A = this chain, B = another copy of it.
Amino acid sequence: MNQDYIVPNNWSIIEEGFEADRLKSSESIFSIGNGAMGQRANFEEHYSGKTFQGSYVAGVYYPDKTRVGWWKNGYPEYFAKVLNAPNWIGINVTINGEALDLAACKEVRKFRRELNMKEGWLSRSFEVTLQNSIDLKVETKRFLSLDMDEVGVIQYNITPLNNDAQIVFEPYLDAGITNEDSNWDDKFWNILSVDSEGDQAYIVSHTMITNFHVCTAMQTQLSLNGKVVNANKSINKTDKTIAFEYSSQVKKDDTLTLTKFGGYTVDRYHDKNDLIPVAKKTLSKASKLGFDQMLEDQKAAWAKIWKMSDITIEGDVRAQQGIRFNIMQLNHTYIGKDARLNIGPKGFTGEKYGGSTYWDTEAYCIPFYMATKDQEVARNLLTYRYNHLEKAIENAEKLGFKDGAALYPMVTMNGEECHNEWEITFQEIHRNGAIAFAIFNFHRYTGDFSYIPEKGLEVLIAIARFWKQRATFSTYRNKYVILGVTGPNEYENNINNNFHTNYTAQWCLNYTLEIIEKMKDDYASDLKRVVDKTKLLDSELSDWKEIASNIYFPYSEEHQVYLQQDGFLDKELITVKDLPRSERPINQTWSWDRILRSPYIKQADTLQGFYFFEDQFTMEELERHFDFYEPFTVHESSLSPCVHSIQAAKLGRMEQAYQFYVRTARLDLDDYNHEVEEGLHITSMAGTWMSIVEGFGGMRVIDDKLSFKPQIPEQWDSYSFKINFRNQILKINVGKTETKLELEGDKAMDILVNGKVVTIKPNDMVTV
């Protein structure tokens, strides 16, 4: 645990003091991104200690050849992964011939890092005594521009403190990079050209196999005490790198500054022959604007983000810091401009999980993006899956399904399945349900039905076809069963009749039938088009109805709960509180078979179903199931505590809800699971947001109306959040005794607060 390492602050993530052992963790936590690229908080100057270098370009991936011990039919041959991209941030620094290297100097003092969340930049400052006894002060600041998303900027200041010094700056580009996470040590990049022109340099390279062309570029500028210096430089070139070398004699207390503009142009957006010309133009524009103006623009762009998505918490600075960190990192990862992109579980902060798309997007992220961005953004996330429909059908075919049934991949970059554990890849099929649910959820929240006739129905039909073929009629039970699945709780594999999966399957079938029924009246020609395209038969509809009406759910009369799966009650039902603390997390101390035999639940499973489909269960049912399953839940998935937090809040158990909230909000800042060095848990950050908005705030959409049941944790004085609901912005401020609702918009809005209708006029505030 990292607890108390990060300095509590409402608007900044701050690290004070240099600890080499925490370096890789801090490199994750202080990561920055702008949706188009991302950068771990690696030092610009050379560092000879342990570091995990990571620069990432959205959508540029490599299909790494699958590595398994024992091959199973149906495994994909490749695992697409986001690639570590050529390094554009590097600036080697030499002082009187000695390299500046925090792992090799005499002493580091006053080391401080700040990730300013309000304004969107990362700074670092320290004083250092080199082996040659020169004392220096170093101050750097960098950001990835939101406005010009192909550009990042670094300002690197050095001040000699005890002597004049010969300072050499060597800003460079390096395309000779490798991936931490590589199965076979393949070569991922092929370098095409290394060039420079004036103050700019360019390396064009392409990924092997996928053949993405990327130009990595930089433009540099030297200043002394704030004034641009027309410096001579030499150029050092290899077949993989290019560096400019500026050598200056600097007086004690003078400050030498290198400003570096850099980044990537990619053939996903430009013709591959234009990559250098575009890079040239973009860097020229950036350098003309200059560091200061670009920083102002960055602040303005972040102000716009916060205006729509900020959550404030009074009286609990750690909680405040946590939620803003989550919101910021989500925005680093995905902004919603490009429907071909999605939200990798680690965003641009690490390589684990390959940067690919999981069901996390539909189950956790879409609510956040629906409420904090324009509707178009969530629609783009739906369109992403629509665009992958054909591949999802192919994926199902590989597993023996037919006639247009689709199984969306567990993990994907381009629509093809990338994962290779049979118990997950082939069996964790509830993901298909989450993709259908997101369509429903988008319509429920935005009121925009148009996506469904346009694209969604095709997806729903293909998913319904999958469930039809995946269900088995058990003559023994005279019911349809679903055998051999892994539910959201991955601590059970190859189980039968997982409640969550069966319920989701039933819901998908019913929802698709309902949509078709609705479209018969209102969207007849769209329906006809889709029916023709998908060759949908009437007999399929009756099959779906038959299955949905006769699906089996394991149920315990004794406990009056749905069982997570067949046979759950055969387990030794010892609760988590009776598990020795030393044995947790069990995924680090127990063998896999022991985990599987145990009743322990990695993440909300039955309760995840109660979360998705809560209006279909009574409060008493929720309470019974929560009381039955919570005691067995170890929350060893980052996606678990938020669901339990929301449900605890719904049940009025605010202290428990708050504990779950803190666990999810500061998961990475406090490094709960000793793994933050691998990267941040981006997708679960959207769950944190849900914990406040849907949990404490009790936000729901009921019959086209927003509804709230505000509660507040004892530890807080007040909190507020904003919601973009159907193009009007509602701000909710919840205090100890009252809730204030403010509307920015142009139409009056009827809102349910604790079940009572409250009407708010545009640009007015109501206190309840």
Contact = CB atoms under 8 A, between A and B. Distances in A.
Interface in A468-510: 472-477, 481, 483-484, 493-497
Given A422-B592, A566-B567, A570-B474, A69 B69 contact: yes
A72 interface: yes
B68 A426 contact: no
A588 interface: yes
A659 B231 CA distance: 90
Nearest to A587: B73
A305 interface: no
A594 interface: yes
B596 A494 contact: yes
A593 B481 contact: no
A73 B589 contact: yes
Interface residues of A, number: 49
A617 interface: no
A566 B569 contact: no
A328 to B, nearest CB: 31
A674 to B, nearest CB: 15
Contacts of A67: 67-69
A69 B483 contact: no
Contacts of A573: 475
A406 to B, nearest CB: 15
A74 interface: yes
A198 interface: no
A569 B400 CA distance: 22
A591 B400 contact: yes
Given A66-B69, A476-B569, A566-B567, A422 B494 contact: no
A638 interface: no
Nearest to A421: B70
Interface in A533-552: none
Interface in A559-586: 566-567, 569-573
Contact of A591 (B66, B72, B423, B475): B72
A502 to B, nearest CB: 12
A590 interface: yes
A476 B563 CA distance: 13
Contact of A592 (B73, B572, B591, B593): B73
Nearest to A593: B426
Given A472-B570, A567-B496, A484 B597 contact: yes
Contact of A590 (B73, B421, B570, B597): B73
Interface string A105-137: 000000000000000000000000000000000
A265 interface: no
Contacts of A247: none
Contacts of A594: 399-400
A476 B559 CA distance: 11
Contacts of A400: 590-591, 594
Given A68-B68, A422-B593, A592-B426, A572 B473 contact: yes
Interface in A586-637: 587-594, 596-597
Chain A facing B: main interface SS: loop
Nearest to A485: B593
A437 to B, nearest CB: 22
A68 B67 CA distance: 7
A427 interface: yes
A373 B169 CA distance: 81
Contacts of A592: 72-74, 422, 426
Contacts of A66: 69
B399 A472 contact: no
Given A67-B67, A67-B69, A496 B593 contact: no
A620 to B, nearest CB: 23
A74 B484 contact: no
A420 interface: yes
A398 interface: yes
A603 to B, nearest CB: 17
A398 B593 CA distance: 11
A69 B72 CA distance: 12
Contact of A477 (B74, B570, B588): B570
Nearest to A591: B74
A304 to B, nearest CB: 41
A299 to B, nearest CB: 43
Contacts of A570: 472, 474, 476-477, 481, 483, 496-497, 566
Nearest to A74: B591
A476 B73 CA distance: 37
Interface in A662-717: none
Contacts of A597: 472, 483-484
A572 B69 CA distance: 31
Nearest to A496: B567
Contacts of A483: 567, 570-571, 596-597
A593 B69 contact: no
Interface in A67-94: 67-70, 72-74
A591 B399 CA distance: 5
Contacts of A399: 591, 593-594
A496 B496 CA distance: 11
Contacts of A496: 567, 570
Contact of A474 (B422, B472, B566, B569): B569
Nearest to A420: B69
Contacts of A591: 72-74, 398-400, 426
A558 to B, nearest CB: 8
A556 to B, nearest CB: 8
A59 to B, nearest CB: 24
A422 B590 CA distance: 13
Nearest to A589: B73
A593 B484 CA distance: 7
A438 to B, nearest CB: 24
6 contacts: A70-B420, A72-B591, A73-B587, A73-B591, A74-B592, A399-B594
User: 8 shortest A-B CB distances, which residue pairs?
Assistant: A74-B591, A426-B593, A476-B569, A72-B592, A68-B69, A399-B591, A484-B597, A474-B570
Given A67-B68, A497-B570, 5 more contacts: A69-B420, A426-B591, A484-B596, A496-B567, A567-B567
